[in-house]
Homo-oligomer: A and B are copies of this chain.
Amino acid sequence: MSEPKDYLGHFEEIVLLAVMRLAENAYGAKIRQTVSEATERDVSIGAVYATLDRLERKGYLKSWQGEATPERGGRAKRYFRVEGAGVQALNDTNGARNRLARGLDFGLDVA
């Protein structure tokens, strides 16, 4: 019953959370923007897609083709959704961290 858990890298975790948060609206460009805001950093679009692709390959999320933006047109969007295994990985990653951080007082905002 105890497979060695699978942990996410830092950026993988951030991207996966962004996809979750964006829900119905999770596609590359938007994900990039969300990640950029949360990290307060410029994040290249290539970095985001490379990570999305890896996460999909691992079965943590799934993607499918959508439509282009109605008004302005342009290339069609590729939407993403987090799969159960992704939620699991998110929880495992968080679990290990929490076991260590629990009770530690260094101003960690947990809110």
Contacts and interface: CB of A to CB of B under 8 A. Distances in A.
A65 interface: no
A2 interface: yes
Contact of A40 (B5, B39, B107): B5
Contacts of A107: 87, 91
Interface stretch (A14-22, A56-64, A72-80): A14-22
Contacts of A90: 106, 108
A17 B99 CA distance: 10
Copies in the complex: 2
A54 B105 CA distance: 24
A110 B98 CA distance: 7
Interface string A1-27: 010110111100110011011000000
Interface of A: 2, 4-5, 7-10, 13-14, 17-18, 20-21, 34, 37-42, 87, 90-91, 93-102, 104, 106-111
